[in-house]
């Protein structure tokens, strides 16, 4: 019973301290800039119909695909000592797919920023 009473008293004291510090602390002035949501690079007050570069979008998608493929290849190195044949086959196939995809995009001119 004493332990329960001690814990309850401790919790009450902590709650009272929190309430006391929140009432005594410096109040922040809320300005218009502080209440707006922050979105990096986008102005909330501008038009929603701005032109969007589809080429930039395609390059970003290629980067994500290659990044995911590389992140799948890196953990394979830890299994190299256990299953060497499977590791060599899987990693070489993934690298081959990456190289074929890169060559295809290069031949189609998707890697050139301006034409």
Spatial distance between the Cα atoms of 89 and 84, rounded to a whole number of angstroms: 9
Q: Do residues 71 and 91 lie in contact, with contact meaning Cβ atoms separated by under 8 Å? A: no
Instruction: Indicate which CATH number applies to the domain containing 71.
Output: 1.20.58.1610
In a domain, residue 65? The reply is: yes
Residue 65 or 47, more confident? 65
| pLDDT tens digits along 15-60 | 999 998 888 876 666 666 666 666 665 555 656 666 777 778 888 8
Entry pTM:
0.46
Residue 78 main-chain phi, psi, to 5 deg: -70, -25
In a domain, residue 3? The reply is: no
Distances in whole angstroms, Cα of residue 9 to Cα of each of 6, 12, 19, 20, 50 = 5, 5, 15, 16, 59
For residue 12, pLDDT over 80 is answered with yes
For residue 14, pLDDT over 90 is answered with yes
Spatial distance between the Cα atoms of 72 and 43, rounded to a whole number of angstroms: 36
Q: Domain span at residue 78? A: 50-115
In a domain, residue 42? The reply is: no
The number of domains in the chain is 1
């Amino acid at each position: 019973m004493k332990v329960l009473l001690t814990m309850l008293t401790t919790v009450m004291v902590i709650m009272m301290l929190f309430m006391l510090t929140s009432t005594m602390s410096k109040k922040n002035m809320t300005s218009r800039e502080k209440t707006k949501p922050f979105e990096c690079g986008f102005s909330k007050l501008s038009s929603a119909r701005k032109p969007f570069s589809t080429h930039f979008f395609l390059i970003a998608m290629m980067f994500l695909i290659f990044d995911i493929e590389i992140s799948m290849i890196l953990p394979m190195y830890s299994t190299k000592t256990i299953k060497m044949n499977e590791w060599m086959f899987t990693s070489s196939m993934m690298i081959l797919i990456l190289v074929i995809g890169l060559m295809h995009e290069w031949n189609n001119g998707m890697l050139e920023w301006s034409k």
